[in-house]
Structure 1
């Protein structure tokens, strides 16, 4: 795949020997498309594709159009005989949140999804630091699947229909009279940059289905945005564990504010959440906004179209969000508070990052399906301020009213 060659050459400095090995192995790949509609699983603002490996293992990859390449996340739960032989290592790689990463290209055999299959696959492998057990991300399907060439008819058109939750690969454009073309340009790696206005300031954002939030900005761009229209809303500071689809989780501090967003003269939104950390190196438009639209990505002519998702309705505030904290199932054993928003009800009630949740309103965490318990906690009525939480902190059992 030509796109993969460019990604390696531009993204890293490799020896001629490594590059020769890489090109030789990559040419053995065969990509076969399925033109039937595919039904993904959309959860936590990610588009999950069930991915089948040769040894009958099934992994959950996300569709990440912000990534130029495909990535397999290697973790302790994934044992594959192809890992016995390392093919090529690339060192100078950074994730969108600025974390340096080492990746290896390995032979994975046949891999298939409901959208496509790859014979003799040769894909990047990364070790991702992810302690969370529910909706675990096992890999990324990037732009190279749909745009293996720089441009032209050998590339594909991807229809993301959020209205009926389907994905479809096309060879020709459908009727587009009801679609709105965005001011977008495609990079040499087939990443998409969209021109938008944030609080009436022109910015350029990567179109990133691998980012679950609304808008992620570099610190420089975050500071530049004029917050005059949102002076009545305090900046939110979130501390604890911050996660990203590529690098996993790390301790950090995030900053967030609300803004207005104009994608087009006819596509305007208020109360869009800006997000940044000190290490973010990429500005992106994420699934928090993208899910409000059906998306048509024309990799043949390098055009991006949106159509309002008529089935979209804003989700009611969840319990965790309303109280200002997040909780996750850690290593399949305990449900733990991973981050807290400053001056939130959670902080004022006395909750700490790292507290283990034993129960909330008599809903016990000591159940077999702990992922379901996390969902039950988050579905608790967020308007009540008399919720009883039993937590464990440093071996001590405590009661918190929130």
Structure 2
């Protein structure tokens, strides 16, 4: 076995300096194979915003042989209730070429995230800090590869890369950035870097009196946190700057105060940076040397879009291209065209939905304003044809 550094419990199984793993990118999120004890490889989201390894969904067929240590209550973002979990230690975690001993795992008693139905494939859990603190982590979003380097090496920074100080507080990584609002005000913000958030940025209005909602916003369902649903608004800001890189005209999420109650007491942060920004770069997270490196890729200059249909979809049979309307937003093209939760998508713009991967569908919903979308739906065993025009409401 390779050497474990200090008291760390995750390390390479050989003397190699680095290991490169392919990953799947769905909904802007990174999915990697992880084995716990004697399990098959499971699908985990690599999430820099999460401290503990969470198992969110287990099937009867997923044998983990967990050492049960007791039950605890978890709290996080979202409004709702506290969540029960089994806390287990002394487990073995494996990824190709990597082993983690005495690994702590939390198994949620209720699959509140519904990640599998949202991601269109079985998702078993979330892993984060255990990987980031033990390695230097390079994420190449273009080639969909994750390279882990031994923590004791000093990586050379390429010429086109820019280095930022990373503040690690309570297992989370923060950077300072600048937000330019609709009124031209530029505000320095402290942001947590969150590879597990698929949006561009989220701003917490109560943390700074100068942060304001843009004049044009729409109500939105922003996702789920440990404590339930996160609701809020989405509106565009003029720009977001990290050092010399400036991204313009991007949608920002503004979660309701109730949804972020837990976060407001933490580290005095103003929000988070999600993977709709990160995917425009090759990113090096170097927790051991408290720095981050960004190198722009071919997506850097692409415009920022978001779902302009006004409806969300889920996949009740993860792994099969079977799509159901899960949520219809008021005052949206979907609502105006009569779409209902529970409608099954059969055909979109003449293409059979069974031939479309989830990401292809989402790409269509996020293309550009004015685009026509023709849907054939199944509702109560009847076929219904619907037409809508993608519309930017912010």
Q: Smaller-chain TM-score range? A: 0.7 to 0.9
Q: Which of the residues 100, 125, 130 maps onto 1:144?
A: 130
CA 1:377 to 1:161, structure 2 compared with 1: closer, same or farther past 3 Å?
closer
Q: Contact (CA 8 Å) 2:137, 2:285: kept in 1 or not?
A: yes
Q: Contact (CA 8 Å) 1:358, 1:392: kept in 2 or not?
A: no
- 2:190 maps to 204
Superposition RMSD in Å: 3.3
Q: Which of the residues 71, 95, 105 maps onto 1:89?
A: 71
Deviation at 1:400, TM superposition (A): 2.1
Q: Which of the residues 249, 274, 284 maps onto 1:271?
A: 249
Q: How does 1:87-126 map to 2 (within 5 A)?
A: 87-91=69-73, 93-97=74-78, 100-107=82-89, 109-114=91-96, 116-126=98-108
Q: Deviations over 1:299-332 (max 9, x none)?
A: 22212222222465638968xx232322221245
For the pair 1:64 / 2:47, whether they are aligned, the reply is yes
Q: Contact (CA 8 Å) 1:328, 1:374: kept in 2 or not?
A: no
| Counterparts of 1:55 and 1:225, CA distance in 2 | 49
Q: Deviations over 1:267-289 (max 9, x none)?
A: 11112221133213442111011
- 2:334 match: secondary structure: helix
Aligned length: 350
Q: Contact (CA 8 Å) 1:214, 1:288: kept in 2 or not?
A: yes
TM-score by length of 1: 0.75
Q: Which of the residues 139, 157, 160 maps onto 2:139?
A: 160
Q: Structure 2: where are the runs of 5+ without partners? A: 1-6, 181-185, 264-270, 389-394
| Counterparts of 2:296 and 2:203, CA distance in 1 | 24
Q: Contact (CA 8 Å) 1:201, 1:226: kept in 2 or not?
A: no
Q: How does 1:296-307 map to 2 (within 5 A)?
A: 296-307=284-295
Q: Which of the residues 380, 385, 392 maps onto 2:372?
A: 385
| Counterparts of 1:134 and 1:212, CA distance in 2 | 15
Deviation at 1:191, TM superposition (A): 1.0
177-186 or 214-223, which deviates more: 214-223
Q: Structure 1: where are the runs of 5+ without partners? A: 1-26, 148-154
For the pair 1:399 / 2:390, whether they are aligned, the reply is no
- 1:40 maps to 23
Deviation at 1:177, TM superposition (A): 5.6
